[in-house]
Chains A and B, each alone.
Chain A
């Protein structure tokens, strides 16, 4: 009996890991979400963009915090080259009060974010993209089909900035795309905090 139970539990585990969200090669939908300056932002607003670095993140996760300055540096380096950073807060403020819109504004001001930092009420785009962690990065590139997903995963393999021979996945992907090539590494494991989902039955 016990064995049957364990097998059942394992099956459930496998089922729970069914792939949702975008895979590399999919075309990403546009969004229209509120930025920390109160104005709504869509991908389509960036007329001169060749693509986008979309970072699903939050205010509170220690891993997301560790990457804040690196996300800023990506925007400074690649924004002018046609790949701006757009950050989206994945977390529900009801579940994680530190991730409220007001706290997003506070953080953006305090850290001088030069990129858009958008709220995603009810996790609509977090779920559409299939982000599961903070930070979780999706590099999009403009093609005839639309905004195609070219890379999904981690920013680099050096969370604590101690890895001497690190690989900067997002930079490498964008550099390849700028040269008109496909990224060599198109997906890695996004390692960070789980998303703080809205608890069922709560409204806001």
Chain B
């Protein structure tokens, strides 16, 4: 019985890991608004973007870090919606990503980029750090421990978001 239960758990766990849904910008905004004191670290990436893929481990590692306040990593893929099943889900499985992964569900790239951050040229990787109504946007790749240091500074209040 125990074995069956464990097996069931493993099944649901691995299934949950490979779940990737579509997400609109307003759904993301609502999520942040409801997040109370959670700091959201939102990374915009794509399976076809080499530097983005190289940077994913720093975001994955962030989840395991100890922070005084809740931190939530969300990986938003800029892959085409039509590639959700063919590219994004297999990628998430292959790289065993543990963070929440979504594919952006916005038809108009110009409007979407503008809404995320006026200064964003549309380049990825790009990262949005958000808590309630406060936001910081970075259009860059993070060096080794740079992301971790940044999030620690933000969450522990040495660095005002």
Contacts A61-B48, A191-B113 known; A157 to B121 CB distance under 8 Å?
no
**A18 interface residue per 8 A CB criterion:** no
B48 contacts across to A, CB distance below 8 A = 61-62, 193
Minimum CB–CB distance for B88 against chain A, Å: 12
Task: Report 18 cross-chain contacts, Cβ distance below 8 Å, ordered by A residue.
Answer: A9-B146, A13-B138, A16-B140, A62-B80, A62-B83, A133-B122, A157-B108, A157-B110, A160-B82, A164-B107, A166-B107, A189-B109, A189-B121, A189-B122, A190-B122, A191-B109, A194-B49, A194-B51
Residues of A within 8 A of B158 (CB): 2-3
- Known contacts: A61-B48, A160-B81. The answer to whether A13 contacts B139 by CB under 8 A is yes
Residues of B contacting A103 in the complex (Cβ-Cβ under 8 angstroms): none
Q: On chain B, which size bracket covers the interface?
A: 20 to 34
Q: Is the CB of A191 within 8 A of B122?
A: yes
Q: Specify which of B138, B146, B153 is in contact with A3 (CB 8 Å cutoff).
A: B153
Interface size of A in residues (CB-CB distance below 8 Å): 30
Which of A's residues lie within 8 Å of B, judged by CB? 2-3, 5-6, 9, 13, 16-17, 61-62, 66, 132-133, 154, 157-160, 162-164, 166-167, 188-194
Q: At the interface, is chain A mostly helix, strand, loop or mixed?
A: loop
Q: Are B149 and A2 in contact (CB under 8 A)?
A: yes
Report whether A158 and B108 are in contact in the complex, using a CB–CB cutoff of 8 Å.
Answer: yes
What residues of A have a CB within 8 angstroms of the CB of B81 in the complex? 160, 162
Chain B: minimal CB distance from A18 (Å): 12
Give complex CA distance A159, B81 in Å.
11
Query: B107: nearest residue on chain A (CB-CB)?
Result: A163
Whether the Cβ atoms of B107 and A158 lie closer than 8 Å is yes
Instruction: Point out the residues of chain B lying under 8 angstroms from A133, CB to CB.
Output: 122-123
